[in-house]
Structure 1
Amino acid sequence: MYKPKEGGRENIAVLHPKHGPTYPESPLKERISFTQVPPNMDSPSIQISDVRMTDEGEYICVVASYPGGNKQGITQLVMLTKPQNSASALTVEAGRNPTVVARCQSHNGRPEAQIRWVTTADGNASTSSQPGQDNTVSVSSEYRLAPTAADNGKDISCVVSHRTQTSPESFQMKLNVLYAPQVKIVGYDNNWYVGRTNVLLTCQATGNPVPTTVLWKSMTGAMPDTVQIKDNQLKVLKVDEAVNTTFVCEVKNRIGTGREKVTALVREPSVNPSNAGVVAAVVIGSLLALLLVAALVAVLMTRNRRRQQGYRADGSADLKARIFGGGKNGTGAAGNNNAPIYVYDDGSAHQGEKNNHNGNGRLEVVAATPTAQDILLSGELDDAERRKFDELEEEERYDRFAGGGAAPILQLRPAGEQHEMIGDYLDDDMESQRDGSVISRTAVYV
């Protein structure tokens, strides 16, 4: 017996032990039969050929016996229909209003198919279904968003799941968004200096559809003579004041026009960074050389000052005896002009011995106790000495000057050099002073 979803039971096949199989009038009469030939009461199974969606329903097997009565078993026949699935991405133009960018469909499936979307695009899906023929169902789903240039080329997938499929069916697509060119100028490094050569600007543009034309312009009017343009590249052969302008790159496609500009600022020539190390080395070397020269000059000036003050310049044997003022005396106290006299002795100097003149031309001088006049001349009088000096009579103060006037009181010369003297001095004995005067280097004046 067969019982459809809507309606009552009706006989479709009968098997009698004596009369055999019988097939009453029903929607299945021409398509139903017992599986065994001849039919067997031990296994009265049936089969349906050319199955249709209308064959779905309950099938009841009823066994009638006497005197046991009737017994039955029921099975449910569910008809499945594999749907026809498809999906596509729509070509849309970038804009602010949400629009359908992709569509997915599952036609004539039983039961109803399930559709879901997988994408990184920020949008929403809407799904609808409608009944089809033979109790099937068709499902349609659309994905909507406000398309932008950034959405162009993004991946989007429609995934359809159904009982007749061993696994979900996936349709992978890319969004197709039309937009006007987006332009970017690269190559300007903000280091255009006068005389720089072969600087290059490149106009990079993206658009859907692909841009067809590229046009370079100058905001100041005509393009400078040193500029060469080829396709999307602008090349400046030599930077000068003429390229101190704003360059504009304009790109077009059938959707619209995009443009970008860059202002070139021409600078004065700068030091080549590759020579910075050399320049630094030269500067440092020059400073070191100046320091060395300054040190050498300081040493020479110090030695010269010491020579003028009476110190020995070196230990050579021909150094003439000199009187030194302002030094220290033998006891370490502050000295004066009465400090010990160092005397020429073939390279040897003696101090603190008696005056002695021998036949070898050796003159030895003993430091005398300083007098008031000596202290006065030395410029180092303390208060007690000054008072003592003031108490002296005028004649006593200067009596030591009266005898010789300005003549030297001591001539430090070996006896063999006397014939070279001019008057009381040698011709090479005089030495110029800073104040313009000339004095003897070997004579002592008081």
Structure 2
Amino acid sequence: MARHDARNWHDCSKMIGLLCLVASILLQHGASGQRVKVEPEVLSYLGQTVNLRCAFSDPTGIQLTMVTWIYEPKEGERINIAVFHPSFDPSYPQSPVTGRVSFTPSPPNLASPSIEISNVGMTDEGKYICEYATYPSGNEQGITYLVMLAKPQNSASIVAAVAGNKPVVVARCESVDGRPAAKISWVTTANGNATTVAKLGTDNTETMISEYRMVPTPADNGKDLSCVVAHRTQVKPESFHLKLAVQYAPQVTIVGYDNNWYVGRTNVALTCQASGNPTPTTIQWKTMSGEMPDTVQITDNVLKVLKVDDSVNTTFVCEVKNRIGVGKDQVTVMVREPSVNPSNAGVVAGAVIGSLLALLLVSALIAVLVTRSRRQQQGYRANGGSDMKTRIFGVGKKASKNGTGGGTGSGVGGGNNNGPMYVYNESSSTQGLGEKNNHHQPLTIGGRPEVVATTPTAQDILLSNELDDAERRKFDELEEEERYDHYTGGAPILQLRPPHDQNDIIGDYLDDDMESQRDGSVISRTAVYV
């Protein structure tokens, strides 16, 4: 057990020692690499002069012997372009930049051996290495990337396409002589796709060509299409807004027929609507029969019928042409019988509405009259009037008691209690009696003026006959005190007479008017006792 633990501890110690060694090597390499200071990337345009800076940051304890600039192209081998030793003059070996490269400042020094390259070209792009020879550390270096830029010339255009069934190029976008290569994209609602190719341009530049392809349809004509070019030399992407141009034969539609052309109708028209690219050049109206009716007038794309007759019962054809092709549409007219005159229809409608209104008015009037008649049948309560008074039933038994009554019912105060109805004026009892009823004459009985019916009226007869026999017998058997209760010596009964004695209303009125009391008497529901 102890041996096993000792072995594990020995293995761990070895691993830790190895890790520490690797870490120290990496730290030394990182420290030495960081002492050569250069710019990671330098941008330049065609024909400019670039400055590639280099310096040794901390030469303490180190002896700087020599510095060398090395060029490494993207494709090719490394080559020395400039060498400096303090004991010798600067040296510029044969290279692609010979005659255009030099140390700066001049004369150079090991602490800051920068160089400059004039009239740079696209082929000068690549990796530039500043390498120091030191003692005792050996060689140390820093790397700078020279990036050559060329601002491209961008453009976009529409390619006219004819509507069909195969994909064709409808737009083209180009970015010419750029470095690095531009990126092209498309923005549109049209259903298509783009293909982009790169071509080598002058002086190691690149030209990008992008084409947008689709199956063009008439509906795509005029749709928006944008080409967007992004490049490193541009602050923001450049956008080109285009509109698709799809050529197609005319599409024709005839409007104006409402399927209600009747004989005698005037000023109806058909309009030929056409769209096409390019714009249609000719519009022609025809009929399937070959002959145009005499009542037809044609003005450009409008066919007007002055008056519809049987000759218009045909098929009209509108034919439109442009450079791409011909388009047509047709409509068949069915001539109908004359329709109802709108004015007569208005009169009929007005008559119907008027009849309904009149019927409603008559119904309302009948309802008012029926309501009023029912109220009159039930009688009116006393309204405070004192000039007119009505008494129902004659002096009957009272006259008999005074010795003037008879049993025949034909004299004064006969036994018929359902005698005539008398009306008199309270202010002038003798005069008003004659004025109210010409059939009754004043008569003095017992020192008081009485009224005697000389000739009974039709109303009196109706009132007398309509009373129920049972009620009449019951009324005759009652004593005067019981009939009139405590109004024996009072004034006449005030009762409003029905407005007009009609055949069945009066009898029903009187029958319904009388009401039996607990003491056996019968009184009127509507009479007002004064």
Q: Assess same fold via TM > 0.5.
A: yes
Match of 1:228 among 265, 283, 297: 297
- Kept in 1: contact 2:420–2:453 (CA 8 A): no
- Kept in 2: contact 1:195–1:269 (CA 8 A): no
Q: What is the CA distance between 1:52 and its match in structure 2?
A: 1.6
Give the aligned partner of residue 175 of structure 2: 106
What is the CA–CA distance in structure 2 between the aligned matches of 1:248 and 1:139, rounded to whole Å?
51
Match of 1:183 among 252, 265, 281: 252
1:91 has 2:183 as partner: no
Q: What is the CA distance between 1:37 and its match in structure 2?
A: 4.2
Q: Which moved more, 1:283-292 or 1:115-124?
A: 283-292
Letter in 1 for 2:342: N
- Kept in 1: contact 2:72–2:79 (CA 8 A): yes
CA gap of 1:349–1:160, structure 2 versus 1, over 3 A, is same
Q: What is the CA distance between 1:24 and its match in structure 2?
A: 2.5
What is the CA–CA distance in structure 2 between the aligned matches of 1:66 and 1:288, rounded to whole Å?
126
Q: What is the CA distance between 1:190 and its match in structure 2?
A: 3.4
Residue 25 of structure 1 aligns to a residue whose secondary structure is: coil
Give the aligned partner of residue 400 of structure 1: none
Q: Which moved more, 1:131-140 or 1:170-179?
A: 131-140
Q: Which moved more, 1:137-146 or 1:286-295?
A: 286-295
Q: Superposed, which structure 2 residues align to 1:164-183 within 5 Å?
A: 164-183=233-252
Residue 234 of structure 1 aligns to a residue whose secondary structure is: strand
- Kept in 2: contact 1:342–1:349 (CA 8 A): no
CA gap of 1:362–1:130, structure 2 versus 1, over 3 A, is same
Question: Could you list the per-position Cα deviations for residues 120-141 of structure 1 after superposition, in whole angstroms to 9, with x for gaps in the alignment?
Answer: 1112223333445554444333
1:261 has 2:353 as partner: no
What is the CA–CA distance in structure 2 between the aligned matches of 1:258 and 1:171, rounded to whole Å?
34
- Kept in 2: contact 1:117–1:159 (CA 8 A): yes
CA gap of 1:348–1:235, structure 2 versus 1, over 3 A, is same
Q: Which moved more, 1:127-136 or 1:5-14?
A: 127-136
Count of equivalent residues: 328
Question: Could you list the per-position Cα deviations for residues 99-156 of structure 1 after superposition, in whole angstroms to 9, with x for gaps in the alignment?
Answer: 2222223344333332221111112223333445554444333222221111111111
What is the CA–CA distance in structure 2 between the aligned matches of 1:20 and 1:58, rounded to whole Å?
25
Give the aligned partner of residue 119 of structure 2: 50
1:363 has 2:455 as partner: yes
Identity %: 65
Q: Superposed, which structure 2 residues align to 1:387-398 within 5 Å?
A: none
CA gap of 1:18–1:183, structure 2 versus 1, over 3 A, is same
Unmatched runs of 5 consecutive residues or more in structure 1: 298-339, 351-358, 368-446
Give the aligned partner of residue 232 of structure 2: 163
Q: Superposed, which structure 2 residues align to 1:69-148 within 5 Å?
A: 70-132=139-201, 134-148=203-217
Alpha-carbon RMSD: 4.3
Give the aligned partner of residue 342 of structure 2: 272
What is the CA–CA distance in structure 2 between the aligned matches of 1:272 and 1:239, rounded to whole Å?
17
Question: Could you list the per-position Cα deviations for residues 254-305 of structure 1 after superposition, in whole angstroms to 9, with x for gaps in the alignment?
Answer: 21111112233334134438x86665333322455578899999xxxxxxxx
Unmatched runs of 5 consecutive residues or more in structure 2: 1-69, 367-417, 423-433, 440-450, 462-530
Q: What is the CA distance between 1:90 and its match in structure 2?
A: 1.4
What is the CA–CA distance in structure 1 between the aligned matches of 2:180 and 2:259, rounded to whole Å?
68
- Kept in 2: contact 1:240–1:266 (CA 8 A): yes
1:63 has 2:132 as partner: yes
- Kept in 2: contact 1:92–1:178 (CA 8 A): yes
Letter in 2 for 1:182: Q
1:251 has 2:320 as partner: yes
What is the CA–CA distance in structure 2 between the aligned matches of 1:159 and 1:288, rounded to whole Å?
75
Letter in 2 for 1:227: V
1:35 has 2:127 as partner: no
CA gap of 1:285–1:42, structure 2 versus 1, over 3 A, is same
Q: Determine which structure has the larger helix proportion and give its number.
A: 2
Give the aligned partner of residue 432 of structure 1: none
Q: What is the CA distance between 1:65 and its match in structure 2?
A: 5.3
1:204 has 2:273 as partner: yes
Residue 215 of structure 1 aligns to a residue whose secondary structure is: strand
Letter in 1 for 2:339: P
Residue 93 of structure 2 aligns to a residue whose secondary structure is: coil
- Kept in 2: contact 1:343–1:349 (CA 8 A): no
Letter in 1 for 2:93: P
Residue 149 of structure 2 aligns to a residue whose secondary structure is: coil
Q: Superposed, which structure 2 residues align to 1:278-317 within 5 Å?
A: 279-286=348-355, 288=357
